Amino acid sequence: MEHVAVNPWVALAYLVAGVCFILALRGLSSPATSQRGNRLGMIGMGVAVVTTLVTHVPLTATLIEGADYAALIARVDYAAAFEIVAAIALGALIGVGVARRIAMTAMPQLVAAFHSLVGLAAVLVAAAAFLNPVAFGIAVPVLFPDGSAVALINPVSRVEMGLGVAIGAITFSGSVIAFLKLNGNMGGKPILLPARHAINLGVLAAILLLVAYFTVDQSPWVFWTVTLLSFAIGFLLIVPIGGADMPVVVSMLNSYSGWAAAAMGFTLHNSAMIITGALVGSSGAILSYIMCRAMNRSFVSVIAGGFGAEAGAGGGGAAASDRAWKRGSAEDAAFLMSQAEQVIIVPGYGMAVAQAQHVLREMADKLKAHGVRVKYAIHPVAGRMPGHMNVLLAEANVPYDEVFELEDINSEFAQTDVAFVIGANDVTNPAAKTDRSSPIYGMPVLDVEKAKTVLFIKRSMGGVGYAGVDNEVFYRDNTMMLLADAKKMVEEIVKSLD
Amino acid sequence: MDFVAILSIFVLACFVGYYVVWSVTPALHTPLMAVTNAISSVIIVGALIAGAAAGSTGSKWLGLAAVVLASVNIFGGFAVTQRMLAMYRKKERPAPRP
């Protein structure tokens, strides 16, 4: 059970890094302190990386032979040091390049891609530790009588390593699938394999049993089988989950990437990694919980997948064409809103797809010039990841104090003249409050129908939301449907407002 | 450090994480995910140890590959978070259009 002696200053430095990370998240409690928090996060990372670089300078042993002595002395291996610096620089170049260019609407894909990198990095580190355990201080060399030597890995470290590689691999393959779905390379519809629950549970059980077996047998096959099975289960778990549940999936993978880091922190006895892993793990778990609550779905049912599979085939869609609804024009919308005292804008994923956030802010500015009070109402699951709408509105220079969360603004719809729904559907469906048979029954929704007039931008009357249910709001007397591409429609409204 | 000491750090950090994350405003949940992504790449510490260690070529190259991946995440994660946070503004500012 030997461990490399830890220099107290080094342990202290990692602790400082951990505290910096806590403060980084703490800063996000308000937009005003968030940038300072982010800088603290960078400082923490800097401390952790520099500490590791300084304490783990690559060395080579050189044999010095004099006339009457021979000695092995350690020298800095400059080539190896250069390789490490080059690896960091290469990563920095790619990372900053991507971060600068990425469109804000593509943020969910980017985050999924980043998660996959954390997962893969965890797998690689675990594999490296397995191949060279002595370097990580987790093994004792055992010399057999026949002269062969084996580095026997501590049983506790084997469990940590096994769990680390498993969580890392699940994070990786799961995130790759999530990325493909969010990026549109793969259909958003859930793909359902027969007997998938039995297969998934079987594979999970096999992984756990193998990790347990790993403590008595450190053969490579055990380690690599765990790795392969974990890659497979990550894939199998995410494939059956539909597009509407992606906010939960992205949050969940966020959580996994944290637990993977924590597991590796246990292996390396590194407090910075453990603190960070715990922070990120709980962060992702809380976000998943918030998203599940906002959809009134249990976490288990999201993981079980299949939601949205019956879209189109469901009963609600057929009735759509028979019922009477009112169609409005951009001029009607402009007139109604310019006469209003208060307008609440309800953005959804459709706004992101149409990239309508900038022109939407222009419309809001025009309305404000007419003396109209404009507010934005955001449902927690609007968009494809937590907070997605807020970022898009911020990108369009919408001041954040005009943007409200569901529970803060829902009571205001009754005193509002116009609710302007753009690209949102399920999150406004009153069936969630009244219709027990609806798949979204119980989900908290924005009470747009209580406003004097509802303006609802939608591409066509045919399509239904991701939950595959018809929306009662379309057919109400106080609703005016604006059928067009969200961006074009808002552009026309802006013109009419002049 | 023995296992119980490490476990204590972990459990306490979970509690800290729980309270800190609940205090994050929902408007900043996307930057929260981006920045947690960046900091979970502290796993680069393990990658650097593997990359610097002598004794196993395979382990060293796996470590270096992990350094690249984690570094993409660190720099990309912090940069994109910074970019997002810079966009959050209060009312009464001159509105520059891109």
pLDDT per position as a tens digit, A63-120 = 777 778 878 777 888 888 899 999 999 999 999 999 999 998 899 999 999 999 999 9
| Residue A96: DSSP 8-state | H
Shortest alpha-carbon distance between residue A322 and chain B (Å)? 40
* pLDDT digit string, tens, across residues A331-361: 889 999 999 999 999 998 889 888 899 999 9
How far CA A221 is from CA of A28, A130, A132, A211, B89, in Å, comes to: 44, 12, 16, 12, 54
- Residue A388: Cβ-neighbour burial (10 angstroms; 0-12, 13-18, 19+): buried
Active site residue A426: yes
Contact A84 B36 (CB under 8 A): no
Contact B83 A100 (CB under 8 A): yes
Helix (H) or strand (E) holding A61: strand A59-65
Q: Tell the residue number behind the tokens 């898009």, with chain if given.
A: A392
Residue A188 confidence (pLDDT) above 80: no
The CA distance from A328 to A475, in Å, is 13
pLDDT class of A425 with cuts at 50, 70, 90: confident
Nearest to A394 by CA among A406, A407, A383: A383
The CA distance from A164 to B69, in Å, is 17
* pLDDT digit string, tens, across residues B42-70: 999 999 999 988 778 889 999 999 999 99
| B8 in contact with chain A, both atoms CB, cutoff 8 A | no
How far CA B62 is from CA of A58, A84, A426, in Å, comes to: 15, 12, 46
Residue A93 neighbours by CB distance under 10 Å: 13
- The rounded mean pLDDT for chain A is 87
A62 strand-pairing partners: A73
Q: What is the pTM for the complete model shown? A: 0.88
| A33 in contact with chain B, both atoms CB, cutoff 8 A | no
Closest chain B residue to A287 measured between Cα atoms? B29
**Sign of the CA dihedral running A351, A355, A357, A360:** negative
Best probe of the B interface among A6, A16, A25, A269, by most B CBs < 10 A, is A25
Residue A2 confidence (pLDDT) above 70: no
Closest chain A residue to B47 measured between Cα atoms? A125
Residue A315 confidence (pLDDT) above 50: no
Q: Where are the beta strands (DSSP E) in A321-478?
A: 342-347, 373-378, 403-405, 418-422, 453-458
| B4 in contact with chain A, both atoms CB, cutoff 8 A | no
| A402 in contact with chain B, both atoms CB, cutoff 8 A | yes
A149 strand-pairing partners: A143
| A84 in contact with chain B, both atoms CB, cutoff 8 A | yes
CA A301 from centre of chain: 19
The length of chain A is: 498
A271 strand-pairing partners: none
* Contacts for B13 with CB less than 8 Å, ≥ 6 apart: A18, A274, A275, A277, A278, A279
Q: What integer is the mean pLDDT of A148-173?
A: 91
The CA distance from A471 to A429, in Å, is 5
Nearest to A386 by CA among B90, B29, B92, B59: B29
Question: Among A22, A48, A96, whose Cβ lies nearest the Cβ of B20?
Answer: A22
Best probe of the A interface among B15, B56, B72, B81, by most A CBs < 10 A, is B72
Q: Tell the residue number behind the tokens 């992205």, with chain if given.
A: A250
For residue A437, give both structure tokens: 């048979």
At residue B53, φ and ψ (nearest 5 deg) are: -80, 140
Say if CB A99 and CB B79 are below 8 A apart.
Answer: yes
Say if CB A303 and CB A47 are below 8 A apart.
Answer: no
For residue A355, give both structure tokens: 């990239």
Best probe of the A interface among B88, B90, B91, B92, by most A CBs < 10 A, is B88
Helix (H) or strand (E) holding A139: strand A139-143
The CA distance from B91 to A361, in Å, is 13
At residue A39, φ and ψ (nearest 5 deg) are: -65, -40
Q: What integer is the mean pLDDT of A175-195?
A: 82
Q: Percent of chain A having pLDDT more than 70? A: 94
Which A residues, 266 through 305, put their C-beta within 8 Å of a C-beta on chain B? 266-284, 286-287, 290
At residue A462, φ and ψ (nearest 5 deg) are: -70, -45
Best probe of the A interface among B25, B37, B81, by most A CBs < 10 A, is B37
CA A3 from centre of chain: 36
| A34 in contact with chain B, both atoms CB, cutoff 8 A | yes
Nearest to A37 by CA among B69, B82, B89, B80: B82
Q: Percent of chain A having pLDDT more than 90? A: 52
The CA distance from A113 to A117, in Å, is 7
pLDDT class of A8 with cuts at 50, 70, 90: confident
**Where do runs of H (alpha helix) occur along chain B?**
3-22, 29-40, 44-52, 57-85
Instruction: List the Cα angle A465/A385/A32 in 5-degree steps.
Output: 130
Which A residues, 135 through 174, put their C-beta within 8 Å of a C-beta on chain B? 135-136, 156
Nearest to A340 by CA among A458, A177, A451: A451
pLDDT recorded at residue A468: 62
Lowest mean pLDDT among A458-467, A479-488, B16-25, B78-87: A458-467
Shortest alpha-carbon distance between residue B58 and chain A (Å)? 7
Helix (H) or strand (E) holding A71: strand A70-76
| B3 in contact with chain A, both atoms CB, cutoff 8 A | yes
**Where do runs of H (alpha helix) occur along A329-383?**
330-338, 349-354, 357-369
- Residue B36: Cβ-neighbour burial (10 angstroms; 0-12, 13-18, 19+): buried
| A30 in contact with chain B, both atoms CB, cutoff 8 A | yes
**Options A68, A77, A245, A426, the catalytic residue:** A426
| B94 in contact with chain A, both atoms CB, cutoff 8 A | no
The CA distance from A25 to B40, in Å, is 12
pLDDT recorded at residue A317: 42
The CA distance from A18 to A13, in Å, is 9
For residue A361, give both structure tokens: 């802010």
Contact B90 A273 (CB under 8 A): no
